[in-house]
Structure 1
Amino acid sequence: MEKTVLYQFLIEVPRAAAIWSVLLVLALGVLTVLVARPEPAGPVEKPADEDALRAATEEADLRRYAGEVAVAAAGAGQNAERRRTAWRVAQTELDRAWAAYDQAEAAARRLAGVAGLPTPRTPRTPAEYAARERWLRRAAMAAHWSGDLTARQLSDVLARRSGWDPRRHPAEQEVVLARVVRDNRLAAYRSAAERERDLWRAAELATEAARALSAEAYAAAERLRPNRLPVSGRATTGRRDLVPRWRPARLG
């Protein structure tokens, strides 16, 4: 009986030890898997420096925008100054064109009064007609070189077209020539007036554009200031007096 019990003990103990060994190996494997596996992700918390990164990015964008709009405002200011200078030149040319027309108008009126007098009598000889034609040619060429007669009109004089008759007395030819010069100067004055108006409008538009960009550049710079206040539309409008404002002054 004792041998039987001892025999069963010797058999059962190694078997139990083997079972315990297997269970221990399995437990260690499960524990290793649990340790190696990452924990399930819970609610993602915002990193503490994410707000700072976003603020830095926004500030960099604001600085870049402020720089770009400042460059645009400077260019608009230079363009407005160029437009204003061009308008001043056009205004000077307009004044000159008016003075030239006024002078031509006075000359035409004076010669129109003289035209009522009897034409001087001269011998109607080939030499006289040749002298009249030479006078007309010289007078027409002089008017052309001074800009008072176009190339087409000079061609008409030389070709005896459009009512030009070199056989007329120089007194009559002078009256006709003075009227043509007056009309040409009047046309030049009207053209100069139209150009002056166009340049005036261009200067006004350029000034408004420069003013708007200057205000935007100021607002962008204000947004970069530390401890700045929000720049609203009303606040921006209230500071428009700080933006340089000028307007070309028209004469007359």
Structure 2
Amino acid sequence: MLELHQFEASHYCEKVRLVLDYKQLPYQTVEVVPGIGQIDLYRLSGQRQVPVLKDGDEVVPDSTAIARYLDEKYPDRPVIPADAKQKGLCLMMEAWADESIGLNGRKAMIGAFNQHPNFRTALLPVSTPEVVKTVVGSVPGDLLSLIGAGAGFGGDAVKSATDILKQDLEALCLILQDQPYLCGETPTLADFAVAGLSMYLKFPSTLYVDLPAGIAGKGVPGLADAPEYAPFWAWRDLLYSDFRKPRSGPTATAPATGTGPVAIGID
């Protein structure tokens, strides 16, 4: 069976899980433990980043490379178009999603985490005592922003990322006005990249990912709840309901306690 070595909360891993579900390929997840688990991952794949797909003796790192491999090895329900123009458009949009939505989405989510106590506490494990949630929620956002500035997640960086994401979401809404999918009449890798990578902007309402129940449906204020972007979120929710399998129980073969998104900054 296919093995996806992953972080459950990684939006790049979610992109691959969408592709696997769309192609109706059975797989099991192997949760990589941050730190020591990444040493084992390096031995397996030559890198410490997730996702990594293992298919028998084949080991494929990187979400784009995994999608290409799956189309070549398992050609049913392809995600990369055969037509040259459509293929070029699909790959270009997928690369754009990786760089713009993927990287800026992380900054915007961390900014929201810093500034909005309700969003911050929703990310905590469901077993977290109420007193701890109160303490976490009461930490001044300015202090967290100051700490984040040293890691490239300060206020200016978050604002710039958010502005870019607003333009991205506007563009996506315009593209989807007159067609069901980003490249035309059938879903492609571009759709699954955009849908999966937008997870940090707004978590799906259904628990497709093993995250605390309190985070479902929540997202970055100004992006997740802005009326002008509602058509995009409706489109993404429909894509999920059509092709993504909701969780029915634990799927990881290594420790995955369902305690929330750890190591969000490592993809």
TM-score by length of 2: 0.23
Give 1 or 2: higher helix fraction.
1
Q: Which has the larger radius of gyration?
A: 1
